[in-house]
Structure 1
Amino acid sequence: MIYASAFNSVNMHYLMGGLGITIAVSIISIVISFIVGTILGVILFEEVPYFSRTVQFIVNTIRNLPLLLLIFFTYFAMPKLGVELNAFTATVFAMPVFESTMVSQIIRGGLLSVGAGQIEGALSTGMTKFQTLWYILLPQALKNSIPPLISQFISLVKDTSLATAIVLTEMMFRSQVIYGQNPNYMIPMFAIVTALYFVVNYSLSLLSKWFERRLATS
């Protein structure tokens, strides 16, 4: 009975608001990370003299830093540089910066998985390097990259909970507020937050399988 009272309408409405923020942060971060990460992956694959090495250095530096450090830097240090960001904006800035470096490695790996013979064949037919990349390499690379991309985006969704450290009122933060008012609500809150994360991430997995089936029949 004590646990059941945790699921009252006020608590659930408050928690669902946090879920909305979690999903919003996740969607924005996924979209930006995918776009920027794909561009970075192409740059790394093409091995543009000097430029690709510079990008590789930046990517390797960022991807070996803790995400929480980037969130802290964006929220606490950037105001010292004259850039004031609220918790939501700081999170959707820091997370894509970190995640796009991870995506870039996945896309680069996908591009490398395409046989060199296909590149040579496309160029021999008169296609430009850009056309070969756009019409031949990227479609296959993206298809090959779907499973690791979805795994990375699932990690991204879970990592949104790190933003509780800068008081972003996402789902995990709001669950803490609820059981902070009544310690008896801790187990129910952990249970429902676990269930909600599972639903969101399992939905991403199903979406991945749907994309794979569509691409397999196209």
Structure 2
Amino acid sequence: MATLFIADLHLQTEEPAITAGFLRFLQGEARHADALYILGDLFEAWIGDEDPNPLHREIASALKTLVDSGVPCFFIHGNRDFLLGKRYARDCGMTLLAEETVLDLHGRRMLIMHGDTLCTDDTGYLAFRAKVHTPWIQTLFLALPLFIRSRIAAKMRAGSKAANSSKSMTIMDVNPQAVVSVMKKHQVQWLIHGHTHRPDVHDLAVNGEPAHRVVLGAWHTEGSMIKVTPEGVELIAFPF
């Protein structure tokens, strides 16, 4: 048995191949797991749990089927779907987790997170993140009619894309000191995250001991998962 981790699927109606691949994953590999952890950006955008988008209902049904089969599912918010709430999580059968969560898997103490807060060199993004995570701003946004929220979200995505096009790849990657700091904070030797879309396994030292940072890939042209078993930790790419 294995515990599986995925992130950065960015599901949207315009990318049916990714949706189809995810549904096959839920019906196949995930059915044999001890648990499934989704580390954010499951959806490209999220404007409210009451959004009637058929894709959202399809995904909720598939995740609920997985959970009902005996595989618990856990979710950490990403920078794209940070407004996903308790109502939708309940529809999926998912358990919402804190943005920094520590697990003990087979004797390994592991910190899991989306990863955007590790990109501390991108000060512009962190300032924007702080603003949109302000509770009163979220409450105000969610009180708007859905069609207005949709327009705002589209404008924000376009703005984000334009801003990122002018940033260096280094700025948009994690800051090494931020990585060590958060691992020291939680007293872990393993960190699993997504967000950067740069799948890899990085070896480092934390408190003078060997440590590891495992980064999930985005589901652009293939799937990406991390499989944790008693034997080891694997980063695996697979076709849709």
Instruction: Report if TM-score (shorter chain) is over 0.5.
Output: no
Greater RCO structure (CA 8 Å; 6+ sep): 1
- Structure with more of its chain in strand, by fraction: 2
Provide TM-score, normalisation by structure 2. Answer: 0.25
Q: TM-score, normalised by structure 1?
A: 0.27
